[in-house]
Structure 1
Amino acid sequence: MSEDFRRRKFDEDDREAVRLLLEHFWILRDRMPAEYSFVRSRLPHLKHYFLDRYGYRIIDHRHFIKLEKIPATPRAWMGIESLTSRRDYVVLCCLLAFLDERQVDEQFLLSQVCEVVKELYPGEEDADPESPRAPLNWESWEHRKSLVRVLNLAVSRGLVRQVDGQVERFARDAESEVLYEVPVVARYFPISYPQELSRFHTLADLLAGTDHVEDRLQSRRHRLHRELLLTPAFFRHEAEPEDFAYLRSQRNRMRDDFENRTPYRMALSKHTAMLVVHEQSHRHHTFPNKKSITDLMLLFAATVRDAFEATTPELDAEGRWPITTVTMENLLHQCREKTAHGWSKAHRELSPAQFGKLLRRELRDWNMIVEAPEQAMVYLCPTLVRLVGRYPSEFTAQHTEEGKKTGKRRSKEKA
């Protein structure tokens, strides 16, 4: 890669094209014609940029543009939001195999999908019928719902075209029919590999096969750029020994590069590296966002910070606060007791167990806690208290005053 390219500054149009490529699975010309033309006009140097920094390639097709975004480390939260079970993902793979055998513009019926997907599904006859390892049975409502979710995803992503009928009826009636059509983009949905997938024996082999460089330094640059781009936070305890030394030595160049070419800024501390945005926008998947659960996470972060400042406990070598699961439950209880008056009705009506499960899952997904159930421990990461949320003092005072009045009224009624 020439030094002239490395020094070339991106203009606003370049950065907007980068944002579009990052925020969309692919840009379909028939659905986003203006965006397609705009990004295509900026492609020559964008291709160089993504290949040099991330080892990512851009597929430039007359019907679509796709940046193949492959994580350095797969994580549980990286799944497709509309798919809710392992069975859904297996059914999706079976659907892809089905489409691979079809011609462009070929039409097919839902009943054909049912027949082929059922044959391809790797079920085990002796498995529990409720397990994703059990064979598909279209008499099962749960199994039909899996296929409905997958087909709705396929239609929304442009993987198939729905010509006639409503797939939701299939959830109620296994005899329902829907007519579909294969678009030209269907076989570009999966990531292409230079070798047959059967040659890869482990997940590590599969991931290594997505980066086609042998130079260790370049491979490290690709991996670290991918970690920063696709994860909320990259921790030193997850990194290889020399990763943070590389980040520290290259931090000025990387900061300038991210700020010049992307909507993000790089933040680096002793134990953590991450990308941040300084202007909240619906266009980015950021924390916090407009979902009410992130408000609860900010309130919990304030509870944790208060508890930490009151006790000043020792941190581990990675800057995390190790606590027992019992202490975690106590902190969740304190947060609920102090702040539930400002929650939404749906969250207030959650049981303590439901609230704890919901909040822990979100905290895990945002890399704010690490759970070690085998040790009955939870590690609170520095990212948890990077941002905290508190109610305005007048709101808290008003609630306290109302609570006193209610308490007096109840006391009189009791008397």
Structure 2
Amino acid sequence: KEPEEQFVLSDLTEYVQSQWQEEKIDWTIYHNRRCFVKVLKFCAENWILKIDDGNEENFSKDGSTEVLYENTGVSRYFMRNFTVDISGFSELSDFESEEWIGMDEDRGIIRRQRVYRKLFMTMGMYRTQETEEDFKYIKKYKHIIQNDLSGLIDCDLHVHKNSAFLVLKEDCRMGRCFPEENTLSDVALLCSTLIHEMLDSGEITCSIDEKITMPAQQFEKLLETCKETYQAGFPKKYREMTIREFASAVSQYMEEMELIEADSTDVIIKPALGKISGVYPKDFATKTGRNGGKDE
């Protein structure tokens, strides 16, 4: 059915029967009708179907009852046919790993969808041994990918030697993005500025894969410097935190946003953090109630 096209309940019962070939569905049985009504109500509540006339509850009492429905078009966007039995799947990764079973995953639409998904759903795509071919695809078809994605949202594709980023324009909003409008995001931007200063002074260096590795103790010292330097611009909650509490909150946020990777000994700063940095105005300390940074 096309969006806004109408149909009656008996059309649905006939369609369900045509799809269920194992046996004939007896709609005279109350239990069968009741189960079907529950499904119809779920569809209506989630705007998959729109009721134009009638009440499906009456179908539970009388199998000859008709209800006039309208197709909203929503059903097209979340149902699909799978080539394998998905009853044993429990994680999102199960669907991703079996999505193209029996097909060459390094060719055509399969690779394109995998690359586009990575650009949309992660902070950045990095060149590794596992992603080498996908990264070559991005570099080769950069302009085509840019045209495809910019036709969907207001964005730019930035491709570097070992990384690629989908950068949204200032007025574009699409799910959760960085930077966000909160204090932890501001702190991450301020930390990025301090990291740039450390790179310029030679205190730290960037590896060939554009990542920076520093001891966890040194990274905590960086966060301590950030707090001491800029805490006049933080809300009271963060000003009153101990260094350990502050470092824990910021590190957790930066890991969540895929800006760093951390273990008990080292912190790896990813290239995404180097794409954007922030500073407060020179007179920020004299202003009260300010808790945001300025993007550069």
Q: TM-score range by the shorter chain?
A: 0.5 to 0.7
Give the conservation status (yes or no) of the 8 Å contact 2:198–2:204.
Answer: no
2: CA distance, partners of 1:232 / 1:198: 31
1: CA distance, partners of 2:90 / 2:240: 47
1:338 to 204, 221, 229: 229
Aligned ranges for residues 311-350 of structure 1 at < 5 Å? 311-350=202-241
Instruction: Give the direction of change, closer, same or farther, for the CA distance of 1:342–1:238 in structure 2 (3 Å limit).
Output: farther
Higher helix share: 1
User: Structure 1, unaligned stretches of length 5 or more?
Assistant: 1-36, 42-100, 107-153, 160-184, 400-415
Give the conservation status (yes or no) of the 8 Å contact 2:193–2:278.
Answer: yes
1:205 Cα deviation (Å)? 5.1
2: CA distance, partners of 1:364 / 1:191: 33
Give the aligned partner of residue 283 of structure 2: 394
1:202 Cα deviation (Å)? 8.9
Aligned ranges for residues 22-171 of structure 1 at < 5 Å? 103-105=36-38, 158=46
One-letter amino acid of the counterpart of residue 383, structure 1: A
2: CA distance, partners of 1:210 / 1:289: 32
TM-score of the superposed pair, with normalisation by structure 1: 0.48
Deviates more, 1:260-269 or 1:296-305: 260-269
2:176 matched to 1:298?
A: no
Give the conservation status (yes or no) of the 8 Å contact 2:153–2:172.
Answer: no
One-letter amino acid of the counterpart of residue 257, structure 1: D
What per-residue deviation string (whole Å, max 9, x for no partner) do you get for residues 380-412 of structure 1? 12211221111111225x48xxxxxxxxxxxxx
Give the aligned partner of residue 51 of structure 1: none
Give the aligned partner of residue 180 of structure 2: 289
2: CA distance, partners of 1:280 / 1:364: 25
1: CA distance, partners of 2:117 / 2:189: 27
1:244 Cα deviation (Å)? 1.3
Give the aligned partner of residue 384 of structure 1: 273
1:241 Cα deviation (Å)? 2.4
TM-score of the superposed pair, with normalisation by structure 2: 0.65
Give the aligned partner of residue 234 of structure 1: 125
Give the aligned partner of residue 274 of structure 1: 165
2:150 matched to 1:259?
A: yes
Give the conservation status (yes or no) of the 8 Å contact 1:280–1:286.
Answer: no
2: CA distance, partners of 1:192 / 1:104: 24
Give the aligned partner of residue 127 of structure 1: none
1: CA distance, partners of 2:37 / 2:244: 50
1:277 Cα deviation (Å)? 1.2
User: Structure 2, unaligned stretches of length 5 or more?
Assistant: 5-33, 48-73, 288-296
1:226 Cα deviation (Å)? 0.7
1:342 Cα deviation (Å)? 0.5
Give the aligned partner of residue 6 of structure 1: none
1:347 Cα deviation (Å)? 1.8
Give the conservation status (yes or no) of the 8 Å contact 1:298–1:387.
Answer: yes
1:304 Cα deviation (Å)? 1.6
2: CA distance, partners of 1:246 / 1:312: 35
Tell me the percent identity. Answer: 22
What per-residue deviation string (whole Å, max 9, x for no partner) do you get for residues 202-232 of structure 1? 9765323224671331222221111011112
1: CA distance, partners of 2:183 / 2:211: 26
Helix, strand or coil: the match of 1:393? coil
1: CA distance, partners of 2:228 / 2:114: 43
Instruction: Give the direction of change, closer, same or farther, for the CA distance of 1:267–1:238 in structure 2 (3 Å limit).
Output: farther
The count of corresponding residues between Structure 1 and Structure 2 is 228
1:271 Cα deviation (Å)? 1.7
- The CA RMSD over aligned residues, in Å, is 3.7
Give the aligned partner of residue 214 of structure 1: 103
Give the conservation status (yes or no) of the 8 Å contact 1:265–1:277.
Answer: yes
Instruction: Give the direction of change, closer, same or farther, for the CA distance of 1:202–1:293 in structure 2 (3 Å limit).
Output: closer
1:363 Cα deviation (Å)? 1.2
What per-residue deviation string (whole Å, max 9, x for no partner) do you get for residues 171-198 of structure 1? xxxxxxxxxxxxxx99x98986443235
Give the conservation status (yes or no) of the 8 Å contact 1:193–1:209.
Answer: no
1:317 Cα deviation (Å)? 2.7
Helix, strand or coil: the match of 1:232? coil
